[in-house]
C-alpha cells in the first residue's frame, strides 16, 4: 500500500541526488548547522564584507610587525644612513680637494715655463723640483723638466739621478719609466761601461716598444764602443731595415752599416 509520504519521498530523493542542494541535505541537521550552510551559500555582499575584515586584520598585523622591526633596528638604520651620507660627502670633498690641487699645480707649472724662456733655468728648476715632489700628472712632467734643465746646465750626474728617480717610480706608466731609462742612458753614456748600457737598453729594443729605434741606435753605438764591430753592424742593419723607425734614424743606421761593412 502506498502512502502520500512514500510517494513524496520517492520523488524528492532523485531530485536531491541530481542537484545536491545543501537545503535538502541539511534537512536532518540541527537548526544552527542548517543556518551555517544556508549562510555560506547565500549570495550578496556578505562575502565581500568578510573579505574586507580579513584584509584589515592582515594589514594591521603587517603594521605591527613593521613597528616591532623599527623599534628593534630603527636606530641602526638611522646610523647606517648617516654613515652613508658622511661617506658620500667625504668622497665629494676629497675629489674637490684633488681638483683644487691639480689646478694649483697646473698654474705653478705654467708659471715656470716663461722662466726658461727668460733664461732663468735655476729658478725654473726649483719650481719643477717642488712640483715633482707632489706627484700626479704635472708632477711627472715637472720631473722630466727638472732633469732636462740639470742636463742643460752640464750637471750630468744630477740629471742621471733625476731620470733614474722617474724610472724607479712605482705606479708610473711604463712608457714614461722606459723613456726616463732611455734619457738616463743617453746622459750617462760617455761615462758608463758599454756593457751596462747594453743591458739597460735590452728591454727597450724588443719589437713593438715605442722607444725601440732610439734604444737600438744607442745599443749599436755601445757595442761599437765596446769593440764589438760585428754586433754593432748587426744592430745598425736591423735598424736600417725597420720600416717602423723614423726615416732619419734609418738613414743614419744605413750610413753606419755601410761604413762598418767597408
For the four alpha carbons of 178, 182, 188 and 193, in that order, the dihedral sign comes to: positive
The answer to whether the 105-191 and 194-262 domains have the same CATH topology is: yes
Band (pLDDT 50/70/90 cuts) for residue 97 is: low
C-alpha R_g of the chain: 47
Per-residue pLDDT tens digits for 144-173: 999 999 999 999 999 999 999 999 998 899
State residue 171 phi and psi, 5-degree precision. Answer: 90, -10
- Separation in Å, CA 248 to CA 20, 201, 221: 109, 20, 16
Q: What is the pLDDT of residue 150?
A: 94
Q: Which CATH architecture has domain 105-191?
A: Alpha Horseshoe (1.25)
Q: What angle do CA 165, 202, 233 make, to 5 degrees?
A: 135
Nearest CA-CA partner of 166 in 154, 151, 44: 151
- Separation in Å, CA 139 to CA 80, 189, 233: 39, 26, 40
Would you give the distance in Å from CA 193 to the centre of its chain? 43
Span 194-262: which CATH code?
Answer: 1.25.40
Nearest CA-CA partner of 221 in 181, 192, 180: 192
Q: What is the pLDDT of residue 63?
A: 78
Q: Picking from 37-41, 42-46, 109-113, which range would have the lowest pLDDT averaged per residue?
A: 37-41
Per-residue pLDDT tens digits for 70-85: 788 878 888 888 888 8
Per-residue pLDDT tens digits for 207-226: 889 999 999 999 999 999 99
Show me where the domains of the chain are located. 105-191, 194-262
Amino acid at each position: 500500500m502506498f502512502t502520500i509520504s512514500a510517494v513524496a519521498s520517492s520523488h524528492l530523493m532523485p531530485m536531491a541526488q541530481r542537484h545536491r542542494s545543501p537545503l535538502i541535505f541539511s534537512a536532518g541537521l540541527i537548526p544552527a548547522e542548517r543556518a551555517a550552510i544556508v549562510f555560506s551559500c547565500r549570495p550578496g555582499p556578505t562575502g565581500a564584507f568578510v573579505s574586507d575584515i580579513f584584509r584589515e586584520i592582515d594589514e594591521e598585523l603587517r603594521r605591527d610587525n613593521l613597528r616591532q622591526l623599527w623599534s628593534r633596528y630603527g636606530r641602526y638604520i638611522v646610523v647606517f644612513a648617516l654613515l652613508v651620507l658622511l661617506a658620500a660627502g667625504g668622497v665629494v670633498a676629497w675629489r674637490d680637494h684633488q681638483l683644487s690641487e691639480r689646478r694649483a699645480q697646473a698654474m705653478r707649472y705654467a708659471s715656470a715655463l716663461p722662466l726658461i724662456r727668460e733664461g732663468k733655468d735655476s729658478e725654473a728648476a726649483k719650481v719643477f723640483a717642488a712640483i715633482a715632489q707632489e706627484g700626479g700628472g704635472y708632477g711627472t712632467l715637472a720631473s722630466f723638466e727638472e732633469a732636462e734643465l740639470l742636463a742643460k746646465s752640464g750637471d750630468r750626474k744630477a740629471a742621471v739621478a733625476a731620470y733614474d728617480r722617474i724610472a724607479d717610480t712605482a705606479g708610473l706608466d711604463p712608457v714614461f719609466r722606459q723613456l726616463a731609462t732611455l734619457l738616463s742612458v743617453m746622459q750617462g753614456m760617455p761615462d758608463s761601461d758599454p756593457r751596462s748600457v747594453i743591458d739597460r737598453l735590452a728591454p727597450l729594443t724588443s719589437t713593438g716598444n715605442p722607444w725601440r729605434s732610439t734604444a737600438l741606435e744607442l745599443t749599436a753605438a755601445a757595442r761599437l764602443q765596446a769593440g764589438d764591430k760585428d754586433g754593432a753592424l748587426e744592430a745598425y742593419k736591423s735598424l736600417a731595415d725597420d720600416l717602423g723607425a723614423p726615416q732619419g734614424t734609418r738613414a743614419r743606421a744605413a750610413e753606419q752599416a755601410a761604413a762598418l761593412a767597408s
